[in-house]
Structure 1
Amino acid sequence: MKRRNFLELSALGFGGLMMPSIPVFGDIISPEKALEQVDVALKKRLADVALNSAKSKGASYADVRVGRYLQQYIFTREKQVQNIVNAESYGVGVRVLANGTWGFAATSDVTDKGVQKAAEQAVAIAKANSKLQKEPVKLAPVKGYGEVSWRTPIEKNTFEVPVGEKADLLLAANAAAMDNGANFVNSALFQVNEQKYFASTDGSYIDQDIHRIWPNFTVTAVDKASGKFKTREALSAPMGMGWEYMIPKASEKIKGPEGTGLTGYRYAYDILEDAALAAKQAKEKLTAKSVMAGKYDLVLDPNHLGLTIHESVGHPLELDRVLGYEANYAGTSFATLDKWKSKNFKYGSDKVNIFADKTQKGSLGYVGWDDEGVKTKQWDLIKNGVLVNYQAIRDQAHIINEPESHGCCYADSWSSVQFQRMPNVSLAPGKVKKNVDQLISGVDKGIYIAGRGSYSIDQQRYNFQFGGTTFYEIKGGKIVGPLEDVAYQSNTQEFWNSCADMCDESDYRLFGSFFDGKGQPSQISAVSHGSAHTRFNGVNVINTARKI
Structure 2
Amino acid sequence: MKRRDFVQLTGLGIGGMLLPFPSMGNPTTIEAMLDTPLDIRQKKQLADVALNTAKSSGATYADIRIGRYLNQFISTRENKVQGIENSESFGTGIRVIVNGTWGFAATNDVTNDGVKKATLRAVAIAKANSKFQKEPVKLAPVKAFGEVVWNTPIQQNAFEVPVSEKVDLLLKANAGALQNGATFASSNLFMVNEQKYFASTDGSYIDQNIHRIWPTFNVSTIDKASGKFKARQALSAPMGMGYEYMVPKKEDKLQGPAGMVLYRNSYDIVEDATLAAKQAKEMITAKSVEPGKYDLVLEPNHLGLTIHESVGHPLELDRILGYEANYAGTSFATLDKLKSGTFNYGSKIVNIFADKTQPGSLGAVGYDDEGVQCKRWDLIRDGILVNFQAIRDQAHILGQNESHGCCYAQSWSDVQFQRMPNVSLAPGKEPYSIDQMIKDVEKGIYIAGRGSYSIDQQRYNFQFGGTVFYEIKNGAITGMLNDVAYQSNTQEFWNSCVKICDERDYRLFGSFFDGKGQPSQVSAVSHGSATARFNGVNVINTGRTI
- TM-score above 0.5: yes
Residue in 2 aligned with 1:33? 32
Residue in 1 aligned with 2:300? 302
Residue in 2 aligned with 1:360? 358
User: Structure 1 residue 401: deviation in Å?
Assistant: 1.3
Q: Secondary structure at the match of 1:89?
A: strand
Assess if the C-alpha contact under 8 Å between 1:513 and 1:526 holds in 2.
yes
Q: Secondary structure at the match of 2:390?
A: coil
Q: Distance in 2 between matches of 1:349 and 1:41?
A: 52
Residue in 1 aligned with 2:529? 531
User: Structure 1 residue 403: deviation in Å?
Assistant: 1.4
Assess if the C-alpha contact under 8 Å between 2:17 and 2:515 holds in 1.
no
The verdict on how the C-alpha distance between 1:174 and 1:15 changes in structure 2, with shifts beyond 3 A counting, is farther
Q: Distance in 1 between matches of 2:317 and 2:129?
A: 23
1:383 to 381, 384, 394: 381
> Which residues in structure 2 correspond to 1:305-454 (within 5 Å)?
305-454=303-452
> Which residues in structure 2 correspond to 1:118-197 (within 5 Å)?
118-197=118-197
Residue in 1 aligned with 2:8? none
Residue in 2 aligned with 1:238? 238
Residue in 1 aligned with 2:255? 255
Q: Is residue 62 from structure 1 mapped to residue 62 from structure 2 by the alignment? A: yes
Q: Secondary structure at the match of 1:202?
A: coil
Residue in 1 aligned with 2:3? none
Q: Secondary structure at the match of 2:315?
A: coil
Q: Partner letter of residue 286 of structure 2?
A: A
The verdict on how the C-alpha distance between 1:325 and 1:409 changes in structure 2, with shifts beyond 3 A counting, is same
Assess if the C-alpha contact under 8 Å between 2:18 and 2:514 holds in 1.
no
Q: Distance in 2 between matches of 1:475 and 1:408?
A: 43
Q: Secondary structure at the match of 1:327?
A: coil
User: Structure 1 residue 13: deviation in Å?
Assistant: 3.8
Q: Secondary structure at the match of 1:315?
A: helix
Q: Distance in 1 between matches of 2:452 and 2:15?
A: 13
- Cα-Cα RMSD: 1.3
Q: Partner letter of residue 525 of structure 1?
A: S
User: Structure 1 residue 254: deviation in Å?
Assistant: 1.4
Q: Secondary structure at the match of 1:365?
A: coil
Q: Partner letter of residue 43 of structure 1?
A: K
User: Structure 1 residue 9: deviation in Å?
Assistant: 10
User: Structure 1 residue 328: deviation in Å?
Assistant: 4.8
Q: Secondary structure at the match of 2:282?
A: helix
Q: Distance in 2 between matches of 1:26 and 1:341?
A: 44
Residue in 2 aligned with 1:53? 53
Q: Secondary structure at the match of 1:49?
A: helix
Assess if the C-alpha contact under 8 Å between 1:76 and 1:187 holds in 2.
yes
Q: Is residue 499 from structure 1 mapped to residue 497 from structure 2 by the alignment? A: yes
> Which residues in structure 2 correspond to 1:78-117 (within 5 Å)?
78-117=78-117
Q: Secondary structure at the match of 2:188?
A: strand
User: Structure 1 residue 412: deviation in Å?
Assistant: 0.3
Q: Partner letter of residue 324 of structure 1?
A: G
Q: Secondary structure at the match of 2:30?
A: coil
Q: Distance in 1 between matches of 2:443 and 2:518?
A: 45
Q: Distance in 2 between matches of 1:253 and 1:483?
A: 25
Q: Distance in 1 between matches of 2:134 and 2:327?
A: 23
Q: Distance in 1 between matches of 2:385 and 2:14?
A: 30
User: Structure 1 residue 25: deviation in Å?
Assistant: 2.4
Residue in 1 aligned with 2:6? none
Q: Secondary structure at the match of 1:538?
A: strand
- Of all paired residues, the percent bearing the same amino acid is 73
The verdict on how the C-alpha distance between 1:11 and 1:99 changes in structure 2, with shifts beyond 3 A counting, is same
Bigger drift between 36-45 and 240-249 goes to 36-45
Assess if the C-alpha contact under 8 Å between 2:18 and 2:511 holds in 1.
no
Q: Distance in 2 between matches of 1:49 and 1:437?
A: 61
Assess if the C-alpha contact under 8 Å between 2:141 and 2:392 holds in 1.
yes
The verdict on how the C-alpha distance between 1:415 and 1:15 changes in structure 2, with shifts beyond 3 A counting, is closer
Q: Distance in 2 between matches of 1:336 and 1:11?
A: 23
Can you give the 5+ residue segments of structure 1 that lack an aligned partner in the other structure?
1-7
Assess if the C-alpha contact under 8 Å between 2:328 and 2:459 holds in 1.
no
The verdict on how the C-alpha distance between 1:23 and 1:74 changes in structure 2, with shifts beyond 3 A counting, is closer
Q: Secondary structure at the match of 1:391?
A: coil
Assess if the C-alpha contact under 8 Å between 2:510 and 2:526 holds in 1.
yes
User: Structure 1 residue 10: deviation in Å?
Assistant: 8.7
Assess if the C-alpha contact under 8 Å between 1:10 and 1:515 holds in 2.
no
TM, length-normalised to structure 2? 0.97
User: Structure 1 residue 327: deviation in Å?
Assistant: 2.1
Can you give the 5+ residue segments of structure 2 that lack an aligned partner in the other structure?
1-10
User: Structure 1 residue 477: deviation in Å?
Assistant: 0.7
TM, length-normalised to structure 1? 0.96
Assess if the C-alpha contact under 8 Å between 1:370 and 1:408 holds in 2.
yes
Q: Distance in 2 between matches of 1:377 and 1:278?
A: 37
User: Structure 1 residue 14: deviation in Å?
Assistant: 8.5
The verdict on how the C-alpha distance between 1:408 and 1:508 changes in structure 2, with shifts beyond 3 A counting, is same
Residue in 2 aligned with 1:75? 75
1:458 to 456, 459, 471: 456
Q: Secondary structure at the match of 1:547?
A: coil
Q: Secondary structure at the match of 2:131?
A: coil
The verdict on how the C-alpha distance between 1:14 and 1:390 changes in structure 2, with shifts beyond 3 A counting, is closer
What is the CA deviation profile of residues 308-347 of structure 1, one whole-angstrom value per residue up to 9, with x for unaligned ones? 0000000000000000011255310000001111110000
Assess if the C-alpha contact under 8 Å between 2:67 and 2:195 holds in 1.
yes
Q: Distance in 1 between matches of 2:358 and 2:233?
A: 26
Residue in 1 aligned with 2:516? 518
What is the CA deviation profile of residues 154-173 of structure 1, one whole-angstrom value per residue up to 9, with x for unaligned ones? 00000000011001100000
